[in-house]
Structure 1
Amino acid sequence: MTSGLDLESLDLMLDALGDFVAAALPEERQLALDRDDTCPEDTIRQMCGDDLGVQLAFVPEEYGGMGGGAFDSYRICERLARLDLGLATSVFATFLGSDPILFGGTEEQKERWLGRIVKEGILFAYGATEPEAGSDLGALRTTATPVEGGYRLNGRKQWISNGSIADACSVLALAPGGPSWFVLERGTEGFSSAVPEDKHGIRLSNTAALYFDEVFVPAENLVGLAEGKGLVQAQNVFGYTRLMVAAFGLGGGWEAADRAIRYSADRVQAGATLSAKQGYTHKLIVPHVVRLEAARAFIEETATRIDAGEGSLNTEGAIAKYLASEAGNAAAEAAIQAHGGYGYTRPYLVEKIKRDVRITTIYEGTSEILEMTIARDRWQQHLKTRGAHYRDAAATLAALPAETGAATAALALECLAAVMEACRAGRLTRNQHVLLRLGELIANGEAAGSLARRAAAALDGTLPEKADRRFSPAVLAAISRVFAREAVMKIAEEGGRWVIGALSENDAAPDGLRGDEMRAAQRGLLADMDVIADVLYGRADL
């Protein structure tokens, strides 16, 4: 179990981050660096040094850090993303790069490398992705050949954050015993980096290819001092690291949404502010706030479970990242539309946020990889339980207060069980697209349950101490009701569509989708959206 930072320390870190970046990276400098495609290495090193010490939050206390847990990391990563996602990526890369050591290294390796992060503020890079392999870590071409005293590395890595500024890099290479992690220091002979990539977004981060030409790495730099454990070590951190990228999507999406909210509160059109127009708020603001908060509920629930010692929770990490990155990207897109022509210009910053947040649907596993990860795992659960997995989950929601929308969330999970059973009976998951669509539906169904539980916890005063508290219990319940309606509609309509679309003409259509109940559950939707809009614009205090 990880207790992490106390609330006062976490709040101090969040405030310090905001103050530091506001001074070191005002909007004018952000825009200039973005235009010039320049990474502010000086600012990053100051953040990871004595000026701020953000690196301390991510390192266990026994190695000199503050021992932050998954919940702390989510809150810090969300704040970083709201400030600048490129900057956030550069800071995050150090902890991603050191994770193979933290989770697989010997005690001596942890003391050496984590100690240097704490004391010297060195920057790390995570050298896993390759040009031909993409997200498939098993398709390695970088090799580690044993020689006297160590190994010779040959190969190339692509899309490496901090690639040309990192002081050290963890590199995944194929040794005789299988994929293995090695730690290389900058300046090692034969180890070089390419010119930084000219990217669509996160232009304040440094991203570069790495090259290994007969690079000698000492045997003591083999992580764990044993070959063949690299993929296991990588899998051990996916749940945690994808949760952090989920926080990036959440922070970027909320920053864009908040800018749109402020803009529309002042912008007058046809005699009234945009914020007074239901057609504006209920299309461009409220739905995105709801989806972001659904993602937050799943992030906070998963972070709490990781800190409680439940393991890496890889599938839950995949769901969190999928929900938050898709919601963040959509919210940023809507924010541009919400600003009209101004949103398409650089000075209003939402244009930059949209380009930045787009990467969250790609790095640390594309949305499509995540859909497959989610679907495969939950499909096995459906088969093992003979279809009871989501029916049982729906039954547990029945005990939650009615105002949380738990009954509608339960209906969504029951419809999900019916869709999955129809896929089993018709052997429809032989169609890859059907399997991927199941991943999307599963993520939304599980998020509806998480959000209902979060709303219930807010109502009875049992939210985690470090939970975000932007919304009151009553408003959070309204948000939960809106999302539950969306989830059941998506699962019943889209799930039924793809099931029927995969059947032949003579096959019977699936039952159990409960269309009448799904449609009846939509009653009250506009009223709840009105409540959320009124709170967002300060027209009501609930």
Structure 2
Amino acid sequence: MQKMDPEMLLMVLDTLGKLEKDKLPLDTKLDLDHTANFPMDLIRFMVGPEVGLHLIFVPEEYGGMGAGAEDIAILSEKMAKMDMAVATSFLAICLGMDPILVGATPAQKQKYLTKIAEEGMIVAYCVTEPEAGSNVQSLKTKAERILDSEGQIVAYKINGEKQFITNGRVADLYTVLADTPEGPSFFIVEAGTPGLIPGKHEDKHGIRASDTSPVTLQDLCVPAENLVGGVEGQGLKQANQVFGYTRLMVAAFGLGAGMAALERAVAYGKDRIQFGTRLVDKQGYTHKLLVPHIVELEAARAYIEKVAQRLDSNEEDLQVEGAVAKYFATEAGDAAANDGIQAFGGYGYMREYEVEKIKRDVKITTIYEGTSEILQNVISMFRMRESVRTKGRYYLDMADKLAGLPTDTGAHWVAASLRVLADAIQVARELKLTKSQHVMFLLSDIMTWGEVAAALCHKAAGHQGGKKWSAEFMKAAARVFARDTVELAARNASKILRGCDPVAPNAERILAQLPTAEYQTGLMKDLDLVTAELVR
């Protein structure tokens, strides 16, 4: 996969910083949130010739910058820290382009990707329906073939209702999923085509300035040449091909929003004096409201970086990794924003301090591009299959690699958790506990925390210190998160092995693999170390 030149990436990041300062100061963000007005002038400026931010999504051969997955993750985090509503508008442009990128014919790519690059087109991704949210296979929108006198397909007549479409009222181009005689298929539709009818702007809880609306398709006539790929029935395959990529982008949104809330809480805690000392000098503030979140957010970052690097190495079939990244990072971001409000006390509840807006905005990341619960289903089901395929070695091999890392990263604790996970998967299969969705969700959380913890341990082992965090900080954060992973594995595995009927006969032996009280040795020292660098 292509990657941006490092200097170009820094230039784009600098452009985003200047854009926020000049065109999106706090008063403007709060006003857009209050009025729920879509900032058309701002978005047009961002995709216009002076900025051309949309070009990061377009390959170089079609006039774009050809950014890689790691570039997109970095820029997505930056956009989310700036404003989630604006970030969501750009997510929709990326999503809308994806069916063209992965499934279009060479002629379609040349025509539409070049047009998007040159004209700065706003794109919408029309998939979700009133009765087909997470379950896209229950698609109701129909595409009926229109034949010429010789029986050749010349066009399609599309009828249906789309729901919650980002950029639905403002897009220049739409990629629409509809059911053809051969199965779900994507179509490219330009704005203004008769029969494509955007609805009213939705009054939302958060990301209020992003444009969200239903789109009605009423006898919409689309030329056959606009069938993506020229073959019917490829739509679900095309959508699934990019889940690893698009869900990673949303994971970076969760990371960015969580960091935005946390950074504001740190700054507030440095200035706020209570009972004679700063809030950041009180463990009740730092160890409860700040440290757990910086640890989880840095764990999320480590996993996002790892998956992005694999995508940039042209590795395919990373849909599960995308699900793990999105599930963990967005839930971590949501939790950080929630405690961000608490960290400000009564001021956190006031609009002018922005943290309550960040909390309202970040919540959508746990919903769109696959709800957290859908992702738990995906993670548990596909990781279960992989464990069966490898005869239980999938997580055991991961544990063996961790066992070779320095113990000051906490890797040996995570390795023990993964070995318990491997045994719990085997027991769940033998006792037919996998029929229980609750059991599968319990397993999915051990899988997620274990894989994320593994990524953080590997990063900490190789981290030599940087502009932001020292090597000691990364190792302390890895140890804190490793302890959390042990506790989650113990809790969830115990529920599966002891809480189901029948009780697993080897439950005690399996759980005995986990470290006992000694793994908590040094916890307070690690929390203090993380705090010291976070609030310095």
| TM-score (ref. length: structure 2) | 0.97
Q: Look up the match of 1:358.
A: 363
In the other structure, the counterpart of 2:284 is 279
Name which of 227, 231, 236 aligns with 2:232: 227
Distance 2:139 2:97 in 1: 20
Matches within 5 A, 1:195-214: 195-214=200-219
Greater mean alpha carbon deviation, residues 244-253 or residues 419-428: 419-428
User: 2:520 is paired with a residue of what secondary structure?
Assistant: coil
Q: Match of 2:476, as an amino acid?
A: A
State which drifts further: 51-60 or 166-175. Answer: 51-60
Aligned-residue Cα RMSD (Å) equals: 1.4
Deviation at 1:151, TM superposition (A): 0.3
Q: Which amino acid aligns with 1:481?
A: R
Answer yes or no: is 1:339 the counterpart of 2:337: no
DSSP 3-state at the match of 1:138: helix
Q: Is 2:523 the partner of 1:525?
A: yes
Shift of residue 135, structure 1, vs aligned partner: 1.0
1:310 aligns with 2:308: no
CA drift at 1:364: 0.1
Partner residue in 2 for 1:30: 29
Residue correspondence of structure 1 range 420-439 to structure 2 within 5 A: 420-439=425-444
Q: Is the contact between residue 492 and residue 518 of structure 1 (CA under 8 Å) also seen in structure 2? A: no
For 1:102, give the aligned amino acid: L
Change over 3 Å in CA distance of 1:376–1:518 after alignment to 2: farther
1:78 aligns with 2:77: yes
For 1:102, the equivalent position in structure 2 comes to 101
Equivalents in 1 of 2:8, 2:517: separation in Å? 47
The correspondence for 1:393, drawn from 392, 395, 398, is 398
Q: What is the rounded CA distance, in whole Å, between the counterparts of 2:382 and 2:504 in structure 1?
A: 30
List structure 1 segments (4+ residues) > 4 angstroms apart after TM superposition.
505-508
Change (3 A) 1:516 1:215: closer
SS, match of residue 379 in structure 2: helix
- Could you tell me which amino acid in structure 2 is paired with residue 302 of structure 1? V
In the TM superposition, what are the counterparts of 1:143-292 in structure 2 within 5 Å?
143-148=142-147, 149-292=154-297
- In the aligned structure 1, how far is the partner of 2:516 from the partner of 2:391? 24
Q: Is the 8 A contact 2:424 2:496 kept in 1?
A: no
Partners of 1:515 and 1:506 in 2: CA distance = 15
Using the TM superposition, give the Cα deviation of residue 285 of structure 1 relative to its aligned residue in structure 2, in angstroms.
Answer: 0.2
Quote the residue 2:473 is aligned against.
475
Gaps of 5+ in 2: 148-153
- Following the alignment from structure 1 to structure 2, what is the Cα–Cα distance between the partners of residues 49 and 510? 63
Unaligned runs of 5+ in 1: 462-467
- Correspondences of 1:451-462 after superposition (within 5 Å): 451-459=456-464
- 1:111 partner amino acid: Q
Correspondence for 1:128? 127
Q: Secondary structure at the match of 2:71?
A: helix
Change (3 A) 1:156 1:112: same
Matching residue's letter, 2:411: A
Which amino acid is 2:477 matched to? I
CA distance, structure 2, for counterparts of residue 198 and residue 498 of structure 1: 42
Aligned length, in residue pairs? 530
State the shift of 1:185 in Å.
1.0
* Paired residues of 1:422 and 1:510 also in contact (CA < 8 A): no
Q: Please tell me whether residue 115 in structure 1 is matched to residue 120 in structure 2.
A: no
Identity within the alignment, %: 48
Q: What amino acid maps onto 1:22 in structure 2?
A: K
Aligned counterparts of 1:532 and 1:211: Cα–Cα separation in 2:
52
- Equivalent in the alignment of 2:15: 16
The 8 Å contact of residues 428 and 499 in structure 1, kept in 2 or not, is answered as: no
Three-state SS of the structure 2 residue aligned to 1:500 is helix
**TM norm structure 1:** 0.96
Pairwise CA distance, 1:425: 2.6
Q: Deviations over 1:100-147 (max 9, x none)?
A: 000000111111111111110010000011101111111110000011
Alignment equivalent of 2:487, drawn from 483, 486, 489: 489
Is contact 1:489–1:518 with CA below 8 Å preserved after alignment? no
AA in 2 matched with 1:502:
C
Structure 2 CA distance, aligned partners of 1:296 and 1:74? 9
Give the Cα–Cα distance (whole angstroms) in 2 for the partners of residues 151 and 110 of structure 1: 20
Instruction: Tell me if 1:376 matches 2:364.
Output: no
Distance 1:353 1:207 in 2: 18
- Structure 1 partner of 2:150: none
**1:365 positional shift:** 0.1
Residue 26 of structure 1: how far off its partner (Å): 0.8
Which SS does the other structure have where 1:49 is aligned?
coil
1:486 maps to a residue whose letter is D
- The aligned counterpart of 2:47 is 48
Do the aligned partners of residues 42 and 244 (structure 1) sit closer, same or farther apart at CA in structure 2, a change above 3 Å counting?
Answer: same
Q: Which residue of 2 aligns with 1:67?
A: 66
Report the CA distance shift for 1:537/1:403 in structure 2 as closer, same or farther (over 3 A).
same
1:501-540 aligned at under 5 Å gives the runs 501-504=499-502, 509-514=507-512, 517-538=515-536
Give the SS at the match of 1:481: helix
1:80–1:427 distance in 2 versus 1, CA, 3 Å: same
Q: State the SS of the aligned residue for 1:227.
A: coil
Give yes or no for the alignment of 1:328 onto 2:333: yes
Hey, what does 1:465 align to over in structure 2?
none
Cα displacement (A) at 1:469 = 5.5
Q: Aligned to 1:410, which of 407, 415, 423?
A: 415
User: C-alpha deviations, 1:479-527, integer Å up to 9, x for none?
Assistant: 1111011011101122212332222369664531227614321211111
- How far apart, in 1, do the equivalents of 2:400 and 2:492 lie? 23
Asked whether the 8 Å contact 1:240–1:312 carries over to 2, the reply is no
What is the deviation of 1:424?
2.1
Query: 1:308-331: per-residue Cα shift (whole Å, max 9, x none)?
Result: 011140000000000100000000
Contact 2:497–2:504 (CA under 8 A) maintained in structure 1: no
Secondary structure in structure 1 of the residue aligned to 2:11: helix
SS in 1 for 2:137: coil
- Pick which of 421-430 and 60-69 moved more: 421-430
Contact 1:412 1:484 in 2 (8 A): no
| Cα deviation, residue 161, structure 1 | 0.5
